[in-house]
């Protein structure tokens, strides 16, 4: 009789995107980051993480989202009045700084927005 052995769980954090909230009373924080679980494509994670004194960390409850899921979430939140206009303007300014003016001078460069 065969039994189901669980495969080892692996996670590879590719990029830290930011902290949503830090706990004042413990070493837990809610973070947003790009991660690949079990050698699958990267996704966006919004998850509680506990940092330990030895530099390691432990994942808590959270959610994993594909790029399409993130776009849908942003649309839903904006459609329902979440996010201030000031915060959106600030995010757009930061995003526009990624693109240099030189990139827009190239007539062969095609950038798909939205």
The domains of the chain are located at 9-65, 67-108
Q: Which is higher by pLDDT, 2 or 21?
A: 21
Q: Are 31 and 19 in contact (CB under 8 A)?
A: yes
pTM: 0.68
Tell me, rounded to whole angstroms, the distance of Cα 14 from its chain centroid: 10
Q: Which residues contact 41 (CB under 8 A, 6 or more apart)?
A: none
Tell me, rounded to whole angstroms, the distance of Cα 65 from its chain centroid: 8
Q: Lowest-pLDDT range, 2-6, 26-30, 79-83?
A: 2-6
Q: What would the pLDDT profile of 39-67 be if each residue is shown by its tens digit?
A: 899 999 999 999 888 988 888 999 999 99
Q: What would the pLDDT profile of 61-105 be if each residue is shown by its tens digit?
A: 999 999 999 999 988 998 898 888 888 888 888 878 776 554 555
| Backbone dihedral angles phi then psi of residue 79, each to the nearest 5 degrees | -60, -25
Predicted confidence band at 8 (pLDDT cuts at 50, 70, 90)?
Answer: confident
- Fold of domain 9-65: Transcriptional Co-activator pc4; Chain A (2.30.31)
């Amino acid at each position: 009789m065969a039994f189901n052995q669980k495969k080892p769980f692996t996670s590879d954090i590719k990029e830290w995107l930011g902290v949503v909230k830090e706990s004042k009373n413990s070493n837990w924080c809610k973070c947003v980051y790009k991660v690949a679980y079990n050698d699958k494509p990267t996704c966006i994670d919004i998850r509680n993480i506990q940092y330990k004194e030895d530099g390691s960390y432990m994942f808590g409850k959270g959610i994993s989202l594909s790029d399409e899921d993130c776009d849908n979430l942003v649309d839903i939140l904006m459609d329902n009045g979440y996010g201030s206009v000031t915060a959106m303007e600030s995010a757009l300014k930061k995003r526009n700084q990624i693109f240099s003016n030189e990139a827009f001078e190239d007539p062969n460069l095609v950038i798909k927005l939205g």
